[in-house]
């Protein structure tokens, strides 16, 4: 899913760049070379040009894919790059305590002396 959104996002980005570059500037009169009013959807008094409306649609799609990619990146396991966890080291084994003086291994220690009352 992440790869699909990434590919779609890149394609929409390229389309947005192309549509913006195809538009004539406000001060440029290049629109008159191609017939001027033939660029508009609703005639010369229309609310906007076809390329202007196309820019709006592609920009909205671009924003939605951006939000989708950011949502996928915040989900657990949604990242394409996984951080490397350091190896878990086991604690060093502790050696058994050496037997007390006068005690052999395997015999219980003598009981503690009881204080007189």
Angle at 24 between CA 58 and CA 65, to 5 degrees: 10
In a domain, 27, yes or no: no
Tally of structural domains, the chain: 1
Backbone torsions φ then ψ of 50, nearest 5 degrees: -60, -40
Q: Which residues does residue 40 pair with via DSSP β-bridges, in sequence order?
A: 49
Tell me the Ramachandran region of residue 106: left when phi exceeds 0, alpha when psi lies from -120 to 50, beta otherwise. left
In a domain, 114, yes or no: no
Q: What is the pTM of this model?
A: 0.49
Q: What residue numbers bound the domain in which 64 lies?
A: 52-76
Tell whether the model's pLDDT for residue 65 goes beyond 70: yes
pLDDT tens per residue, range 27-44: 555 555 555 555 555 555
In a domain, 66, yes or no: yes
In a domain, 92, yes or no: no
In a domain, 32, yes or no: no
Contacts of 103 (CB under 8 A, 6+ apart): 109, 110
């Amino acid at each position: 899913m992440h790869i699909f959104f990434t590919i779609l996002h890149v394609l929409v980005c390229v389309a947005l760049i192309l549509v913006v570059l195809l538009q004539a500037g406000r001060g440029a009169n290049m629109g008159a070379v191609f017939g001027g009013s033939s660029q508009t959807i609703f005639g010369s008094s229309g609310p906007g040009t076809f390329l202007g409306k196309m820019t709006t649609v592609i920009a909205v799609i671009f924003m939605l894919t951006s939000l989708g990619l950011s949502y996928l990146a915040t989900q657990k396991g949604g990242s394409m790059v996984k951080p490397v966890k350091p190896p878990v080291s086991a604690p060093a084994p502790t050696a058994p305590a050496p037997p007390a003086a006068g005690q052999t291994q395997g015999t219980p220690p003598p009981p503690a002396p009881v204080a007189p009352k």
